[in-house]
A = this chain, B = another copy of it.
């Protein structure tokens, strides 16, 4: 009966809520969203399973499922220590770059379907087709430019 709950300041709790809500809006399930937020906010960067489930007051099953999800989607990682079976979880900060790349892929997917749509449209709706073409052009322009922006960032960090 030793509680492993982490003590959070009022500000930290608030930040976890706010960050959690933002994470949810990216399509993450509530429990997972808060786990990521907790790991970003807490002073000890590594937390155990028990600390997570006690601090966030979620059941072991909810914690287990959410952690599994975060591990398989590459947002979470852990280390282990000799003579200690527990895993020490920490947020993979790199997941931001993955997120960026995924957005690019989604954008590309959209453009290619819109291209298909344009090819199948009647030639009679000239104005409309031109508008559609312009949107496709914009997405493709964006795709190229974003890649350049990303390269520029990488270079500035050498």
Contacts and interface: CB of A to CB of B under 8 A. Distances in A.
Interface residues of A, number: 46
Contacts of A40: 114, 117, 132
A142 B156 CA distance: 13
A61 interface: no
A98 interface: no
A128 interface: yes
A72 interface: no
A151 B102 CA distance: 24
A110 B43 contact: no
Interface of A: 9, 11-12, 15, 18-19, 22, 25, 27, 40-41, 43, 45, 93, 96-97, 100, 103, 106, 109-110, 113-114, 116-117, 120-122, 124-125, 128, 131-132, 134-135, 138-139, 141-142, 145-146, 149, 152-153, 156-157
